[in-house]
Amino acid sequence: MQIGDYYSNPRNDVLTLLRHTRADRILEIGGGDFPTLIETRSRIGGEVWGVDIRASATPLDRMIVGSVTSDAVRDQLSTAKFDVIIANDVVEHVEDTEGFFAVLSERLAEGGEILISVPNIRNVKLLYHVFLKGRFPREEAGLFDRTHLRWFCRKDVEMLSAGAGLRVADHRYSGRLVGDGALSRFKPMEFVALQNLFRLVRA
């Protein structure tokens, strides 16, 4: 994935997990220019809110600038509830991981769903770099993005979700070697997948 892709292209791989056919309100966290949020609205309608550390020129019903775990952003979200919450490639950039999942849980409407993608560190590329080359890679984007604060396996996200009163209702792997068919649910794909995709609901 090129750096610009984070901001300009909708995450259609993630949207394969979407189950809502209509929504009153949708939130995307860390959406850049929010192409995934706009694509979601085109499919199921609804008011669209965005949270990001930088302002976006994309027309939204509500744009909040800042870190989603900060008191200022949480105050601006106030008591708003969302039928669909989207957070792609965000949690690895957040200092307060548990706080991040707590915000997702707090803002989720009854019967709502959360769609998230998380880079998959349980990938053979890690073995190659660490055990064969003897170093942990730092790259401009992707799995070893130098701006990542933490790295996660599938089980880490499952545990963090459970701690916030959420459960995994659906999961798929994503990446060039995985494709978008039946292999995306095949457990051994974890070792070549670049992303874990989750659909979370209330436990």
Quote the percentage of the chain above a pLDDT of 70.
Answer: 97
Residue 116 near residue 201 (C-beta atoms within 8 A): no
Q: What is the pLDDT of residue 7?
A: 60
pLDDT category at 55 given cuts 50, 70, 90 is very high
Residue-wise pLDDT tens digits, 80-123: 999 999 999 999 989 999 999 999 999 999 999 999 999 998 88
Instruction: State yes or no: pLDDT of 3 exceeds 70.
Output: no
Q: Which amino acid is at 171?
A: H
Instruction: State yes or no: pLDDT of 6 exceeds 60.
Output: no
Integer CA distances (angstroms), 201 to 18, 25, 28, 55, 106, in order: 12, 16, 16, 29, 12
Residue-wise pLDDT tens digits, 10-41: 999 999 999 999 999 999 999 999 999 999 99
Residue 91 near residue 152 (C-beta atoms within 8 A): yes
Instruction: State yes or no: pLDDT of 196 exceeds 80.
Output: yes
Selection from 174, 8, 161 nearest residue 85 by Cα: 161
Instruction: State yes or no: pLDDT of 1 exceeds 70.
Output: no
Mean pLDDT of 159-182: 92
Question: What SS3 string covers the chain?
Answer: CCCCHHHHCCCHHHHCCCCCCCCCEEEEECCCCCHHHHHHHHHHCCEEEEEECCCCCCCCCEEEECCCCCHHHHHHHCCCCEEEEEEECCHHHCCCHHHHHHHHHHHEEEEEEEEEEEEECCCHHHHHHHHHCCCCCCECCCCCECCCCCCECHHHHHHHHHHCCEEEEEEEEECCCCCCCHHHHCHHHHHCCCEEEEEEEEC
